[in-house]
């Protein structure tokens, strides 16, 4: 069975997923055969060049003509174009894989979730950090009760690419196009990881309190003498309470000088603790009840999650491999007719929490979910 795949978007995420599709037959021989069928964008000249670079046979400047002609539709465009094409594809019963956050607003995310529920097609939300081998291993430890009762979940995502006030304005700085700033761009990943790792043992987040800050009010438009207002947050922080009483502490920033892509998560239980950093993604730190301190587990053995597909023990993986893993799982789910997680339902659940953080910041009060 060969799956014809269409991809909307050919820049950052378009390259990441296209690279993953190209790697699959080399390293995951049990994956479905994939034909990179159509690349979708607006600029015909740039689109033709990107299709040649990324290995797509066809191009299209309108997604409407494509969504019911392929076996899978990847929506990798900016946040504000997640809803309409994804919903149209689902109405045509075409499986959809959509980048996070699911949508700029909770209302749009709800429509996408409902479209997925009404469709016979699979709908996946691209939270790629679930597919880091160390995160998969951590999930197993937590589910097995190795950490005991979960008491505290701490997540932080720090970047510095907007530290300079002269860094140019982009769609990510506009609330109408992005929905939110560091909150949705980075915080969505952290909230999803927290739910994925401890949701089965600590339950959902019951209430949350949030704080958003914008430090640079306007930014220059590249190639002009103009500036545009920044209408999203540069940073956020939040405190949360889980159903079992565990505390959650979350934060993200795009103005944290000295941090390039520093996504960390720490989980503390009554019988032990775990901590993980994306900047050391081949390692998981674990402290058991009978340990005085943390030990580092190197995730490169063949029996570690996904590692049997890659290199001999001791040869590390990188950020791009997370996309190979999630594409493998998504495309295999299409072929096998089984559910895929994270689904649009999971993406919507994250969006509910992002929305609650914004509402808490507006009101200055805790928000119940």
Span 235-242, average pLDDT: 98
Q: What are the structural domains of the chain?
A: 2-128 (3.40.50.720), 130-316+344-368 (3.30.360.10)
Q: What are the pLDDT digits (tens) for 131-189?
A: 999 999 999 999 999 999 999 999 999 999 999 999 999 999 999 999 999 999 999 99
SS3 of 64, please?
helix
Residue with the bigger pLDDT between 19 and 1: it is: 19
Q: What is the pLDDT of residue 1?
A: 82
Asked if pLDDT for residue 291 goes beyond 90, the answer is no
**pLDDT value, residue 364:** 98
Environment class of residue 347 by beta-carbon count within 10 Å: exposed (0-12), middle (13-18) or buried (19+)?
buried
Q: What pLDDT, in 10s, does the model give residues 55-113? A: 999 999 999 999 999 999 999 999 999 999 999 999 999 999 999 999 999 999 999 99
pLDDT digits (tens, 9 = 90+) for 219-228: 999 999 999 9
pLDDT of residue 110: 98
- Give CA–CA dist 269/142, Å, rounded: 9
Contacts 24+ apart (CB under 8 A), 356-364: 356/208, 356/210, 357/183, 357/187, 357/208, 357/210, 357/212, 357/236, 357/238, 358/180, 358/183, 358/210, 358/212, 359/210, 360/208, 360/209, 360/210, 360/211, 360/238, 361/210, 361/211, 361/212, 361/236
CA-to-CA distance for 175 and 350, rounded, in angstroms? 18
What's the CA gap between 278 and 251, in Å, rounded?
15
Residues 34-58 pLDDT 10s: 999 999 999 999 999 999 999 999 9
Residue % of the chain over a pLDDT of 90 = 99
- Is the overall model pTM greater than 0.85, yes or no? yes
pLDDT at position 159 = 98
């Amino acid at each position: 069975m060969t799956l014809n795949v269409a991809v909307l978007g050919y820049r950052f995420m378009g390259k990441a997923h296209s690279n993953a599709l190209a790697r699959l037959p080399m390293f995951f021989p049990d994956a479905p055969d994939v034909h990179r069928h159509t690349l979708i964008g607006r600029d015909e000249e740039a689109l033709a060049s990107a299709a040649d670079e990324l290995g797509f046979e066809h191009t299209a400047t309108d997604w409407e003509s494509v969504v019911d002609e392929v076996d899978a539709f990847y929506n990798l465009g900016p946040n504000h174009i997640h809803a309409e094409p994804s919903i149209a594809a689902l109405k045509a019963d075409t499986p959809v894989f959509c980048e996070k956050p699911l949508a700029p607003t909770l209302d749009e995310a709800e429509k996408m979730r409902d479209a997925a529920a009404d469709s016979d097609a699979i709908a996946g939300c691209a939270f790629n950090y679930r597919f880091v081998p160390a995160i998969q291993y951590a999930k197993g430890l937590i589910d097995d009760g190795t950490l005991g009762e979960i008491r505290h979940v701490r997540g932080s995502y720090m970047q510095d690419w907007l530290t300079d006030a002269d860094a140019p304005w982009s769609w990510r700085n506009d609330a109408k196009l992005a929905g939110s700033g560091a909150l949705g761009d980075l915080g969505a990943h952290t909230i999803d990881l927290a739910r994925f790792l401890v949701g089965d043992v600590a339950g959902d987040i019951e209430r949350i309190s949030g704080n958003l800050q914008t430090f640079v009010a306007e930014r220059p438009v590249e190639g002009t003498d103009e500036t545009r207002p920044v209408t999203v947050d540069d940073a956020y922080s939040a405190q949360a309470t889980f159903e079992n009483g565990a505390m959650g502490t979350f934060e993200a920033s795009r103005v944290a000088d000295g941090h390039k892509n520093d996504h960390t998560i720490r989980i503390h239980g009554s019988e032990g603790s775990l901590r993980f950093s994306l900047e050391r993604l081949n390692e998981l730190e674990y402290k058991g009840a009978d340990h005085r301190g943390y030990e580092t587990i190197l995730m490169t053995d063949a029996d570690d999650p996904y590692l049997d597909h890659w290199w001999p023990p001791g040869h590390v993986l990188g950020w791009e491999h997370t996309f190979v893993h999630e594409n493998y799982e998504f495309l295999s789910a299409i072929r096998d007719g089984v559910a895929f997680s994270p689904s649009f339902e999971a993406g919507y659940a994250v969006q509910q929490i992002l929305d609650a953080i914004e509402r808490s910041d507006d009101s200055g009060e805790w928000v119940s979910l």
